[in-house]
């Protein structure tokens, strides 16, 4: 009897297949948001979600005519839980698209599952070079940056300034390592030397011994990658140790983006490089900032922009395939040809699906990451190892 029921169920399921195919273009669009909502990157995850939802709201709650439904997972920026988390979204919740994450290690697990399952993935922050390197795929996109990019841009700037000896300090994981690697590549090409490379495990914030080490080795300047809550603590500790008076601090722009309220006067004068800045003279940025502030009673930051642009990429691709996520090649063709009208300024995607974009030099003045000029124009990640 039981076997018979199962057989009947199977038949019924088979009969449903054509209906499912229609549902792919007409039913609700299930968006899986896998982001950190707790821990040192919690505010980054929230800003990405806000930006993404602002774009969806501007489209009347629909993308390519499909009403958007969200399924959320707090990934805690924990790579050890990432594969389970992403599999839940893909296998249990059957999402149409994955959006995530902030942490490079978590994003790598997502990219692996996306590559194996063919699920569409748009990375709205994590810079892991490999996502648009060896892991590159027709169904994998990034609306943010590669870790190499802001590091490289800052290396060019610091070498051009005539700075000779630099110490680096960061978290020991892909984002820190690859930011420093990108920095070193450009800085050494420009004649500089990295005299000391310091690190501590993510997300630790016991900086004291490392700051003592920096003070003792007296470099001309320091280059750093930190972000979120950890970056707030680092900037405060750097100033408390008096180092901001003697050894100028430079970084990829995550150090100060979204953090200035919390860092206060300790951040004053810090130079960073990033694909976004305050006071950009970009029409899209002006309307975006007004809409964001009105909706959330908050100022946007780079993470909000990347969330908004992840939704824009989804919109461009899905409009081209009339909402059918299974048409991956056509989706890719549309996105690859697009000029994305971002608050950061118009950008395109490389063949490996990483933004080709300008990096700005910014200086902290009061509560602003003030635009100081172009650090690196139309900077393209080398996409080492991508075969597509």
Q: Which residues of 28-52 are buried (b: 16+ CB within 10 A; e: fewer)?
A: ebbbbbbbbbebbbbbbbbbbbbbb
* Residue 254 lies near ligand PHB (rule: CB under 6 A): yes
| Cis before 101 (ω within 30) | yes
Of the chain, the end-to-end C-alpha distance in Å amounts to 51
* Residue 79 lies near ligand PHB (rule: CB under 6 A): no
CB nearer to ligand PHB: pick between 55 and 173: 173
Alpha-carbon Rg for the chain, nearest whole angstrom, is: 22
Cβ atoms of 263 and 369 within 8 Å: the answer is no
User: Which span sits near ligand PHB by CB under 6 A: 24-32, 125-133, 286-294, 341-349?
Assistant: 125-133
User: Which span sits near ligand PHB by CB under 6 A: 61-69, 80-88, 122-130, 355-363?
Assistant: 122-130
Binders of ligand PHB among residues 186 to 215 (CB under 6 A) are: none
Residue 193 has a CB neighbour count (10 Å cut-off) of 13
Residue among 43, 46, 85, 104 that touches ligand PHB (CB under 6 A): 104
Strand pairing of 355-365 and 348-349?
Answer: antiparallel
* Residue 37 lies near ligand PHB (rule: CB under 6 A): no
Minimal distance in Å, beta carbon 126 to ligand PHB?
Answer: 4
Burial classification of residue 166, based on how many CB atoms lie within 10 Å of its CB (0-12 exposed, 13-18 middle, 19 or more buried): buried
User: Which span sits near ligand PHB by CB under 6 A: 13-21, 46-54, 102-110, 350-358?
Assistant: 102-110
Minimal distance in Å, beta carbon 318 to ligand PHB?
Answer: 26
Q: How many chain residues touch ligand PHB (CB under 6 A)?
A: 12
CB nearer to ligand PHB: pick between 102 and 314: 102
* Residue 273 lies near ligand PHB (rule: CB under 6 A): no
With the C-alpha atoms ordered 308, 353, 178, 165, is the resulting torsion angle positive or negative? negative
Distances in whole angstroms, Cα of residue 269 to Cα of each of 87, 245, 347, 369: 44, 11, 28, 9
* Residue 175 lies near ligand PHB (rule: CB under 6 A): yes
Q: Which residue is nearest to ligand PHB (CB)?
A: 227
Beta-ladder partners of 348: 356
* Residue 82 lies near ligand PHB (rule: CB under 6 A): no
* Residue 126 lies near ligand PHB (rule: CB under 6 A): yes
Q: Name 112's Cβ contacts closer than 8 Å, sequence gap at least 6.
A: 83, 135
* Residue 102 lies near ligand PHB (rule: CB under 6 A): yes
Residue among 53, 103, 233, 344 that touches ligand PHB (CB under 6 A): 103
Applying CB under 6 A, the residues found at the interface with ligand PHB are 41, 102-104, 125-128, 147, 175, 227, 254
């Amino acid at each position: 009897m039981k076997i018979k029921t199962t057989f009947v169920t199977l038949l019924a399921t088979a009969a449903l297949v054509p209906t499912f195919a229609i549902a792919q273009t007409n039913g609700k669009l299930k968006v899986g948001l896998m982001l950190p909502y707790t821990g040192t990157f919690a505010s980054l995850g929230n800003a990405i979600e806000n930006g993404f939802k602002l774009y969806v709201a501007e489209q009347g709650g629909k993308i390519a005519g499909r009403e958007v439904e969200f399924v959320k997972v707090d990934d805690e920026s924990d790579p050890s839980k990432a594969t389970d988390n992403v599999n839940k979204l893909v296998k249990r919740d059957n999402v149409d698209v994955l959006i995530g994450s902030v942490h490079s290690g978590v994003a790598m697990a997502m990219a692996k599952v996306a590559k194996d399952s063919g699920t569409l993935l748009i990375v709205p922050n994590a810079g892991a070079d490999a996502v648009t390197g060896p892991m590159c795929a027709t169904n994998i996109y990034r609306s943010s940056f590669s870790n190499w990019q802001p590091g490289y841009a800052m290396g060019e700037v610091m070498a051009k300034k005539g700075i000779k000896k630099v110490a680096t300090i960061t978290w020991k994981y892909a984002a820190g390592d690859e930011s420093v690697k990108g920095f070193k590549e450009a800085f050494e090409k420009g004649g500089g030397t990295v005299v000391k490379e310091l690190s501590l495990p993510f997300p630790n914030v016991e900086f004291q011994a490392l700051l003592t080490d920096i003070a003792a080795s007296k470099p001309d300047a320091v280059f750093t990658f930190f972000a979120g809550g950890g970056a707030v603590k680092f900037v405060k500790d750097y100033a408390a140790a008096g180092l901001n008076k003697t050894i100028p601090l430079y970084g990829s722009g995550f150090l100060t983006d979204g953090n200035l309220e919390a860092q206060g006067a300790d951040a004053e004068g810090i130079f960073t490089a990033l694909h976004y800045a305050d006071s950009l003279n970009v029409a899209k940025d002006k309307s975006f900032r007004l809409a964001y502030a009105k909706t959330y009673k908050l100022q946007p930051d780079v993470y909000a922009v990347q969330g908004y642009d992840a939704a824009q990429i989804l919109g461009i691709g899905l409009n081209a395939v009339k909402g059918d996520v299974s048409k991956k090649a056509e989706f890719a063709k549309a996105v690859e040809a697009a000029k994305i009208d971002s608050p950061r300024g118009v950008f395109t995607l490389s063949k490996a699906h990483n933004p080709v974009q300008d990096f700005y030099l910014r200086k902290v003045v009061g509560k602003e990451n003030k635009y100081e000029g172009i650090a690196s124009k139309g900077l393209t990640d080398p996409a080492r190892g991508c075969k597509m």
